[in-house]
C-alpha cells in the first residue's frame, strides 16, 4: 500500500482531504461573490467580467476542472467518513446533541447534499441557461447586448424577478453559509490549528465570515425583488420589440440579437 492509500484509509487522511478541498471551495465562494457583486456597478461591469471569463479558456477551464475535482473529493471523503463512523459506532448516541454539538455540525451531510442540488439547479439556470428551469421557458443565453456580448446583467435580473426562484436561492445560500460557518472551524481543527485559545476565536471568525457571505449573496435577489435592474430590462424589452417590428420573423419566434433567435414566450 503506498503512502497516499494509507493516508486515505485513515480517518485523519479523509479529514485532511475534506479540509483542503473545503478551503478551495470556500475561496471559490468568496471569489464568486466578489464577481457577482459587480452587478451593483451596472450592466457594463458585470457583462465585461463575464465576457472576459468566457473568452479566457486558460482561466475558465482549469478553474472548472479544479472546482469539479474539489466538489467530487469533498463529497466522497464526507461519505467515506460517515460510513467509517457508522462501522465504528453502529449504535447511535442515546442523546443526540450531547457533547455540545450544534445543529449545523449535526446536519452537515444534509446541508451538503441540499447545496449540491442547488448547485446543479444553478448551473442549469445561469450557466447552461436551460429554458425549462427559469420560469419563462426561453433561453437566457439569447439575451445579448447591442455588440453581441451575453447580457448577464439582464439574465440575473430576469432570473430573480421570479420570486420562487429567489426564495429558493435565499434558502440555499442560507444553508451554504451555515455549512461554511461550521466547516471553516472544522477545517482549522483537522489541520491542527485549533486549540482552547484559538478555537473560540476561529469559530467566531468563521461565523462572522459566513454571515457576511450570506448578506452579500442574499443582497442580489433581494435587490432585484425590490425593483433593482428593472430599468435595464425595460430597455432590453423595448429593443427586442423594435427589432421584431422592423424584421418580422417566423411566427412564435423573435430575434433578440445578431443572429440569435428565441421564442417570445413569457416576456
Ligand atoms: C445570488 C447568488 C448568485 C448569483 C447571482 C450567481 C450568478 C452566477 C452566474 C451569472 C453564473 C454564470 C456565469 C456564466 O456562465 O455566464 C454562475 C455560475 C456559477 N455559479 Fe453562481 N451565482 C450565485 C450563487 C452561487 C453560489 C452560492 C454558488 C456556490 C455554492 C455558485 C456557484 C456557481 C458555479 C459553480 C458556477 C459555474 C461556473 C462556471 O461557469 O464554470 N453560485 N453564477
Q: Is any atom of ligand 1 closer than 6 Å to the C-beta of 126?
A: yes
Higher pLDDT, residue 247 or 118: 118
pLDDT at res. 101: 63
Q: Which of 127, 130, 145 to mutate to test the pocket of ligand 1 (most atoms within 8 A of CB)?
A: 127
Q: Is any atom of ligand 1 closer than 6 Å to the C-beta of 85?
A: no
- Please count the CA atoms within 13 angstroms of the CA of 233 that sit on its side-chain side: 16
φ and ψ at residue 134, rounded to 5 degrees? -100, -5
Which atom of ligand 1 lies nearest, measured to the CA of 159?
5
> How far, in Å, is the centroid of ligand 1 from the Cα of 211?
19
Is a pLDDT exceeding 50 seen at residue 204? yes
At 43-52, the pLDDT tens digits run 999 999 999 9
Dig out the grid coordinates for 106 from the structure.
Answer: 449535526
- For residue 195, what are the CA distances in angstroms to 13, 103, 110, 187, 262? 20, 22, 27, 13, 58
pLDDT at res. 257: 43
Q: Is any atom of ligand 1 closer than 6 Å to the C-beta of 158?
A: no
> How far, in Å, is the centroid of ligand 1 from the Cα of 119?
8
> How far, in Å, is the centroid of ligand 1 from the Cα of 194?
32
Do 227 and 236 touch, CB atoms closer than 8 A? no
pLDDT at res. 250: 52
Higher pLDDT, residue 71 or 246: 71
pLDDT at res. 261: 40
Contacts of 267 (CB under 8 A, 6+ apart): 136, 138, 237, 240
- For residue 133, what are the CA distances in angstroms to 120, 139, 161, 202? 11, 10, 14, 39
Helices 163-190 & 108-122 angle (0-180, nearest 10):
130
Dig out the grid coordinates for 94 from the structure.
Answer: 442515546
Q: Which residues pair with 257 in a beta bridge?
A: 260
Q: For atom 27 of ligand 1, which residue has the closest CA?
A: 173
pLDDT at res. 91: 61
Which runs of consecutive H residues, i.e. helices, occur in 162-229? 163-190, 198-225
> How far, in Å, is the centroid of ligand 1 from the Cα of 37?
12
At 122-148, the pLDDT tens digits run 999 999 999 999 999 989 999 999 888
> How far, in Å, is the centroid of ligand 1 from the Cα of 32?
7
At 62-119, the pLDDT tens digits run 999 999 999 999 999 999 988 887 777 666 555 554 455 667 667 888 889 999 999 9
Contacts of 184 (CB under 8 A, 6+ apart): 22, 26, 202, 206, 209, 210
Q: Which CATH number fits domain 3-88+102-263: 1.10.287, 2.40.128, 1.20.1300, 1.10.8?
A: 1.20.1300
Q: Which of 40, 122, 158 to mutate to test the pocket of ligand 1 (most atoms within 8 A of CB)?
A: 122
At 8-65, the pLDDT tens digits run 888 889 999 999 999 999 999 999 999 999 999 999 999 999 999 999 999 999 999 9
Amino acid at each position: 500500500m503506498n503512502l497516499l492509500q494509507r493516508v486515505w484509509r485513515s480517518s485523519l487522511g479523509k479529514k485532511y482531504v475534506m479540509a483542503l478541498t473545503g478551503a478551495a471551495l470556500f475561496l471559490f465562494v468568496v471569489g464568486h461573490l466578489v464577481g457577482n457583486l459587480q452587478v451593483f456597478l451596472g450592466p457594463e461591469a458585470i457583462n465585461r467580467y463575464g465576457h472576459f471569463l468566457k473568452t479566457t479558456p486558460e482561466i475558465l477551464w482549469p478553474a472548472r476542472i479544479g472546482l469539479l475535482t474539489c466538489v467530487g473529493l469533498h463529497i466522497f471523503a464526507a461519505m467515506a467518513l460517515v460510513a467509517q463512523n457508522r462501522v465504528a459506532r453502529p449504535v447511535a448516541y442515546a442523546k443526540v446533541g450531547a457533547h455540545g454539538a450544534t445543529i449545523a455540525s449535526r446536519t452537515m451531510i444534509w446541508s451538503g447534499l441540499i447545496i449540491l442540488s442547488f448547485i446543479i439547479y444553478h448551473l442549469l439556470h445561469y450557466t447552461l441557461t436551460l429554458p425549462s428551469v427559469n420560469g419563462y421557458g426561453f433561453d437566457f443565453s439569447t439575451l445579448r447586448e447591442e455588440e453581441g456580448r451575453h447580457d448577464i446583467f439582464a439574465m440575473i435580473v430576469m432570473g430573480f424577478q421570479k420570486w420562487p426562484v429567489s426564495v429558493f436561492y435565499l434558502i440555499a445560500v442560507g444553508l451554504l453559509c451555515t455549512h461554511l460557518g461550521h466547516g471553516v472551524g472544522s477545517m482549522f481543527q483537522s489541520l491542527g490549528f485549533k486549540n482552547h485559545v484559538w478555537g473560540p476565536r476561529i469559530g467566531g471568525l468563521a461565523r462572522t465570515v459566513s454571515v457576511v457571505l450570506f448578506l452579500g449573496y442574499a443582497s442580489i435577489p433581494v435587490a432585484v425583488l425590490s425593483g433593482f435592474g428593472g430599468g435595464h430590462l425595460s430597455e432590453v424589452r423595448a429593443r427586442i420589440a423594435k427589432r421584431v417590428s422592423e424584421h418580422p420573423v417566423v411566427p412564435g419566434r423573435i430575434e433578440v440579437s445578431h443572429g440569435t433567435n428565441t421564442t417570445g414566450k413569457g416576456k
